[in-house]
Structure formats: C-alpha cells, structure tokens
Structure 1
C-alpha cells in the first residue's frame, strides 16, 4: 500500500462520497484493465487527486477526466498543466455533456453516493465504450453480478448483464482508501455484449423492471395490478404468479420486446 504522504494533498469530502484509493496493487489492476482496452481515448470519472490519472496519462492516449469537486479540479489542472493529452471537465458525471466521437475506455473510483446513476447513464445513453473498470461498494458489485433467485438480484443485475460481460477484478477492504469507508469495495470490469439490447429497449427494460420489482415479495400480477392484466403478462412470457427475482435476464428482455409491440401504452412517452 502506498504512503498517504505521497498523495497530492486533497481533503476528501463526505458530501461528495469521496474515498481516495491508496492501495498500489488495486491501482495497478484498475489501470492495467483500462489500458488493456483498444479504445482510442480514455474517460476517468472521479479522479480526485489524480493517482489513477497520472498512470493513465503515461500511456499517451487522450484522457478526459470528469470531477465535481472544484478543489480537485484546481489540483488536477496544476498537476497536469503541461500534459497536452489531458482534458478536464468540471461537473457532475451523471449529467455533464461528454465529447462525442470514438469509443472510450472508462475508468473510475466512483463516488459511492452517485455510482449507480453514473453506471445507469453509461449503460442507457449511448455513450460509446468498449471497456469499463469501475469501483463500487461491494454491495453494489454483488447486485450487478446477482443471479436469479438471490437477494442481490434486481433491476441493476438484469440491465448490466444484458449489456455487458462482467468480471470482478478485485475486492478491497476499508484500509485501501483514505479516509477508510465503513464498507468493502470491489472493482468490476464491463465488456460490451455483441447481442446487447438497443438503447430504446434498455430504457423500456428499466421501466418494466422497476414496476416488476417495486415490491419484491409480491407477485408480478400484484405489482402490475391496474396497469396490465395477468393475461397480458402471460402472453409476454411472464408467469403472473411468479416473483420478479426468479426471472432470467433473457426472459426479461424477451418480455420487454413483446410489451413494446403489443402494449406500448405502459411505457412513458
């Protein structure tokens, strides 16, 4: 593990969910995964003091960094002022406009309080990427990789697994960060599936999933009551008396495609 004195001084802000990575083995793993991509440019989310940034820039590819913390942005501009292929965007990664163009290799020690919406954006907005190596709370990583019939399985599991092949690269305890969080963390690698649903299907899928999982202990018929009759669910391949947590990702996608054609009224316009 690196000595925290080696890090550029930056005060972690609890309101921004900041916990800076100081575990050298984990840093090397994340950077290696990101640079193993063939993407022509890099996107780093939440660079903080720039520990990953420094190593990513050594590769020579153009790197865009996005950070919401003005103090971090001042530090990053000073550190990499003479690096022409470094580009900094100050703002919220959930909504900031990103440069269009060729695919990204995306990397980030994501702020814990925004990790899920950031990932949802990367999976549903058509931002081009051919690999992502992202840090999450361990609980979120477990949800991403959750299997049908387990407590961890939910809408995030289905969306992520239909869009990407997932690999957990490393699990980290609180001591790998400064300040130390109260939870374990994990890095998950995403590689796009060639048969991933279209963007329109992904958005529709989330709508179906959020209604179906609204009350986990209720059946699909109960969760859809007043919106779709049981017969319509059955026609879509969703047994009305089942709970959402037992249905596989492929069956969710098949049902969503059926509902888009035969019951478009259930989707927000």
Structure 2
C-alpha cells in the first residue's frame, strides 16, 4: 500500500468527487482509517466485507491488516477502476458492483466474516437492520454512522436517543460507541459529526421469528412514544399484552428495557 498514490491524488487522477445522491463523504486520512481497522480487529484471517468503499481509504487499511479476503460492495461504478488499482494479484481482494441492500452476503463469503464500513449516510440505518434481522449475521460489525444514529444504537432506557433501533440492535448484539469523528475529517465535510459503533452478536440473541415480533412491538410502542403502552400497543393487545409480559400498562416505551420488549414480543400471538 505504501507504493500507491495518496487517496486525494487517486481521486484527482480519476476525476472523481463525492455524489450527494449516494450520501458519499470520503475519509482520506489513512491514520484514521487504520485506527478504525484496529478497533474492528483482530480478524485472524477471517473475511471482511466493506460496503461503499469509495476511494478505498478503509480498503487500504484492511489490506494491511490480518484480514483474509476483503470483499468490496460498491454501487457507484465510477470507483471500480480506482479500487481495482488496489488489487495486488494475491486473490485477497474482490470487488462487487451492486446495491448492498440487495446483496446476499452469504454468497460473497464462506464462514464467519466481519463487516467494516463507513456507511453511506442515506442507507446506514436500513443496512444495519438488514444485517441484524436477516438470514446472514456477521461475526462482528464495525460501522460508521452519523453521530445521531450511532447514539441511537447504543442508547439506554431513559435516554433521549433510546428507541426501536437501540432495542433491536442490543437484542442481537453487544453495542459500543468506540470512536468520534468531526465533520472536518471528511471530504466533503457533512453537516454533522460521525461516530463508529462496534457490534458483536450475542450468543443468546433472539431467533428470526422473535425478531419479527420485536419489530412489530417496537414500531407500535415508539411510533407513539409519549403514550402509555396500553394505548400505543392497543392494536397488538394493549393492556392484556402488557400484563402477559409482566409490563406495567401505564408505562411508556422510553422506560422499558430490552428484556421487557422481548417479553412483549414473546407474549404477542
């Protein structure tokens, strides 16, 4: 990687810039991308999927690491020639042109694999829900989001940011906020700061059917979060559902912890 031109030089050589429609903000400081990869590892030879690599700042750091195969999923075809320049012919790097929301990750990698990405802001939450609730779950996820979204993922009951994203993410994974980045770290700078979240799947995570019920319960409860659960969950059973789950019907969603929501999901028929 040391023989390559800088990321900015590579962008200039290919005449590339960020597209607002793709939610692109590039991280060009390799010291920062290497730190993110250190926070994500060690990989011990496992594969890594990176979504939205853009000019390849994180990709370069991943290729310097102990990762096995590094699979890139890039929707913007403008970046494919630039990313191809990172291939040293060893077979470690694979570039897939496609929409990460539609890609089947199990077809890209064999065995346990990591996800490490600076996610496009406009699809970050949707991608996280896909990975948490879908048929393929990574070995670990180290993902960059807008700071507001990152705080929603790790929020605790009673926090202003606590909601259905926190409940679902924490039901499936142990989630920690591990790094903050100011807007000035990116090119072009977004209007908000960013943060990196590290998620490790729980051994006792709910099965997919339970997660589907959890999504229904949290959508109803937090869709009317200022109402008591007897009202916000009325279409799902209201007070009777709460009582079956051992939850006070007059409580509001923002004070119910993940275990309580899982009991509500289990009681839902």
Give the TM-score of the pair, scaled to structure 1: 0.89
Decide whether the 8 Å contact of 1:217 with 1:243 is kept in 2: yes
In structure 2, the partner of 1:109 is: 118
* Superposed counterparts of 1:179-258, under 5 Å: 179-258=188-267
Structure 1 pair 218–256 and aligned structure 2 pair: CA distance change class (3 A): same
In structure 2, the partner of 1:129 is: 138
Decide whether the 8 Å contact of 1:102 with 1:128 is kept in 2: no
Instruction: Work out the CA distance in 1 between the residues paired with 2:236 and 2:210.
Output: 19
Residue 243 (structure 1) shift: 0.9
Q: Does residue 57 of structure 1 match 2:63?
A: yes
Range with greater deviation from structure 2 (21-30 or 85-94) = 21-30
Q: Does residue 5 of structure 1 match 2:5?
A: no
Instruction: Work out the CA distance in 2 between the residues paired with 1:166 and 1:23.
Output: 25
Match of 2:128 among 119, 122, 125: 119
Match of 1:97 among 86, 91, 104: 104
Decide whether the 8 Å contact of 1:66 with 1:92 is kept in 2: yes
Structure 1 pair 101–243 and aligned structure 2 pair: CA distance change class (3 A): same
Instruction: Work out the CA distance in 2 between the residues paired with 1:247 and 1:25.
Output: 40
Alignment deviations for residues 77-99 of structure 1 (CA, whole Å, 9 cap, x no partner) = 24427342211111111121222
Q: Does residue 69 of structure 1 match 2:72?
A: no
SS at the partner of 1:190? Answer: strand
Instruction: Work out the CA distance in 2 between the residues paired with 1:26 and 1:247.
Output: 37
Structure 1 pair 15–81 and aligned structure 2 pair: CA distance change class (3 A): farther
Instruction: Work out the CA distance in 2 between the residues paired with 1:108 and 1:171.
Output: 15
Residue 125 (structure 1) shift: 0.9
In structure 2, the partner of 1:267 is: none
Range with greater deviation from structure 2 (249-258 or 103-112) = 249-258
SS at the partner of 2:234? Answer: coil
Instruction: Work out the CA distance in 2 between the residues paired with 1:189 and 1:200.
Output: 25
SS at the partner of 1:112? Answer: coil
Instruction: Work out the CA distance in 2 between the residues paired with 1:38 and 1:161.
Output: 25
Decide whether the 8 Å contact of 2:245 with 2:263 is kept in 1: yes
Q: Does residue 141 of structure 1 match 2:113?
A: no
Decide whether the 8 Å contact of 1:43 with 1:106 is kept in 2: yes
Decide whether the 8 Å contact of 1:39 with 1:104 is kept in 2: no
Match of 1:29 among 32, 35, 42: 35
Q: Cα RMSD between the aligned structures?
A: 2.0
Instruction: Work out the CA distance in 1 between the residues paired with 2:159 and 2:137.
Output: 31
Q: Which runs of 5+ in 1 are unaligned?
A: 264-269
Decide whether the 8 Å contact of 1:131 with 1:191 is kept in 2: yes
Alignment deviations for residues 212-241 of structure 1 (CA, whole Å, 9 cap, x no partner) = 111111111211224424223211223221
